[in-house]
Amino acid sequence: MRIVKTAIATLLAILIAEFTGVDGALSAGLLAILGVDVTRKRSLVTISARFFASILGLILAFILFHVLGFHIWVLAIYILIAFPLITKARFKEGIVTSSVVVFRVFGGEEISWQVMLTQVELLIIGLGSALLVNFLYMPKTEEKLLDIRRQVDGRFSVIFQQIAASLRDPYHLWDGKELTEAAKLVDEGLSAAKRALENQMIYPNEAWTVYFYMRKQQLDRIEGMMELISQVYQRMPQGEFAALLFDRLSIDVGQEEYTGITEQMLAELEQQFKTMELPSTREEFEIRSAILQLCRELSLYLEVSKKSKAPAPLKAAGRKKTLLGR
């Protein structure tokens, strides 16, 4: 799609330059190629940088060409002075664009206000065409983000099912590939969410960014859970009780709001743990301790969800529907 937009912007710039009678219509097309970018906000920033960098470069080049003349070695002096100056002015993205404009002036071997005006007109037409095309159309990412979210929620659900199975059967085998897949999907989702946010100029919606940051934090908690699961090497009633929590969580993980069901079950289980008899052996103590710590990690996991979205009652009260899953 970026290639298609580049082609349209280039054609538009050349046609406008020819229609308005500006000399060097092909240069306007080249500037349009340099101006097309991936997001609206980035396009606005980079095109502004390219325009002002080109103006700064033109002024410096006119001074150098007027004083030293049109010699190849003058271009080297221009580069040595202009590039650091443009970078210091925070227009680094415009170095290439400014060079194209300056080299065109050098090729014409003429310095006048008309030449300066022509270059500015080409900049406005070329970069303006790119900006116009960028603002008129950007690919919609909502469906892609929703698809990534479904995949992430699916991986999380499988992870919790596997944790529950391991608590019930310490000899249960699992290769853990869903953890790696979930991490890659979360990173992919974060990149896509940031691009989508940069395309929203007036009312930016950060819901998707919040969702993927939430999942990234929760993956850290899950990694802590996996270390504790490895310490549960015997089947115990407490493990069965904890497995019920993860059974519930594997269902709730795809919900759009925070229901608090697993949190309530966890609170009840912790109270139940306090009424149980103390461990009679060292092995039982170690395993029950690991299960208790696992529940604490689960509590931290749920806290992340609780902070990142509104609870279910708020949605029922008419609040805006959130994109976040549990």
Instruction: Give the pLDDT score at 167.
Output: 86
Domain range annotation of the chain: 1-137, 141-308
**Mean pLDDT per 10-residue segment, the chain (326 residues):** 85 91 88 82 85 93 92 93 92 89 89 90 91 78 87 92 88 86 92 79 73 90 87 77 88 79 85 75 80 87 75 39 38
* Predicted local distance difference test score (pLDDT) of residue 319: 34
* Model pLDDT, residue 321: 38
Angle at 286 between CA 282 and CA 287, to 5 degrees: 120
Structure letter (DSSP) for residue 109: T
Q: Is CATH 1.20.120.940 the classification given to domain 141-308? A: yes
Q: How far apart are CA 164 and CA 235, in angstroms?
A: 12
Amino acid at 307: K
Q: Is the dihedral of CA 87, 92, 94, 99 positive or negative?
A: positive
* Separation CA 185–CA 225 (nearest Å): 20
Distance linking the first and last C-alpha atoms of the chain: 34
pTM above 0.85, yes or no: no
